[in-house]
Each structure stands twice: as C-alpha cells, then as structure tokens.
Amino acid sequence: MFIVNLSLSDFEGHRDIGLALLRKLPPYEVRRIIDFIKGKKTEPKFGLGMNVPRSMRTEIRRYLREREVDDERLDSAILFARKALKRMYAVLHIMPSDRAQAILFDDKPPEDSKLFALKQIVKESQPAKQARLIMKYKIPYRIASTIIKAMTPTVLIALINSMSSQELINNMASIKRHGAFDNPDVKSLVKEKLGKAKKDKRVSAYKAKEAIRVAKVSKDVEKELEEVTETQVKMRG
C-alpha cells in the first residue's frame, strides 16, 4: 500500500520515490501492485478500480526490459514468477522480447534456458540423467522438487550440491520427507554442507534455529544446525 500511495500521489517527488521502490521488488509483488490499482470484482471488492498511471507503466516496462537483456536473469525470474510476469506483459500491453515471448507465451523455451532443461528433466526417466541436467543448469531445489516424481539418492545429491547453505537450511524439512537422512551418502553431504554454513556470512541464524523446530531431524543433524546458529550469532556479535 505504501508504494501504491506514493506512485499515485500528486505531491512532488512522491511518484519518483514510489517507482524507485517498485524497481527493487520481485515480480510477484509488482503484479500485486498492478492488480490492486486495476482492481477486480470479488466479494468483497478488491483493489482501487483505477488505470495504472503512465509513469508506473513506463517504470514497469523498464523493469521488464532490465530482465530481458540478461538471459539468465530473465530465465530465473520466469522460473519463480511465471504467472506474475505474464500478467504484467498482458495487462499493461507491453511487447515481450523474443525470448520472453518464446518462454512465456509460446511455451517454446530456447535450448540454453533453464525452462528448456526443466522440460527435459520431466521427460527423463533415468535418475542419473536427471541429476546431470540439474547440475548442469543449476535448477533450484524448490522448482525441481515439484517436477521430479522419484527423488532418488542420486537426484538428491545433485540438488543438494546445487544448493547454497541457506537454501539447504530452508529446505531441511523437505529433503527429510524425500528420504535424505535415510541414505548415508546423502546425509553425509548434508552434514558437510552444514559445516560450511557455519562460516557463510549469508546464512541466517534464525533460519537455522527454525529448521531445528520444523524439520525434527536426528540428534546429530540437529547438533550441526545448533552449531550453525551459535557460530552465526557469535560472528554478528
């Protein structure tokens, strides 16, 4: 609401600040702002029922173009926020780049994109080949876990190797459900990465503590997570 109010304000400088803040948002939040301004008929009524201001339309066009000029950045954005990006182009009548058009609207992702790799992973029945594709294209766990039917130890190892320390901690409960701690090799890899997480400045001590509560892991893994928490707290004083 804060960004919406600034972007619609008639006071000098307010719109510039609102649009500057908008540029830093992930696609799904930009979509929420557009939908709130445009409004839609629901019970109860949602949104303002207004036209998106020209200044915001221009800013969102710039927002999309910045992603389009970097193939990897565009692919990553589509990977996590396909519907949001598609709606931005459609609602604001913005012409997508050739790559965005191919992936979002034609469902024909180019062979060098992660979206193409996802299609190949879904088609592939051999875990070893799935694992190679995951490693090659660095498919995030959050995405891969929704499309792979048989989460074998080979696939789990590939996914865990592709994760950052924080991603591993965030997904501790999920990898447990997929049997990560039932296989000694996978469990050993998890503990090895948790050891590295202790010195990783990007790791949140709070998230590590939360993982202990949510995942309900074995005592030895719980100890590793506790050490991550303690080390991170000490590093931050």
Q: What is the pLDDT of residues 127-147, one digit of tens each?
A: 888 888 888 888 888 888 888
Is the pLDDT confidence value at 89 over 90?
Answer: yes
Which sign, positive or negative, has the C-alpha torsion 226, 228, 229, 231?
Answer: positive
pTM here?
A: 0.68
Evaluate whether 22 touches 31 at the Cβ level (below 8 Å).
Answer: no
Q: Given this model, what pLDDT does residue 200 score?
A: 78
Q: What is the overall mean pLDDT for the chain?
A: 86
Domains of the chain, by residue range, sit at 2-105, 117-235
Which range, of 87-101, 167-181, 207-221, averages the lowest pLDDT? 207-221
Is 83's pLDDT higher than 70?
A: yes
* Nearest Cα to Cα of residue 88 among 54, 64, 58, 55: 64
Average pLDDT over residues 157-178: 88
Percent of the chain whose pLDDT exceeds 90: 30
Residue holding tokens 């996590």? 80
Mean predicted confidence (pLDDT) in 24-41:
86
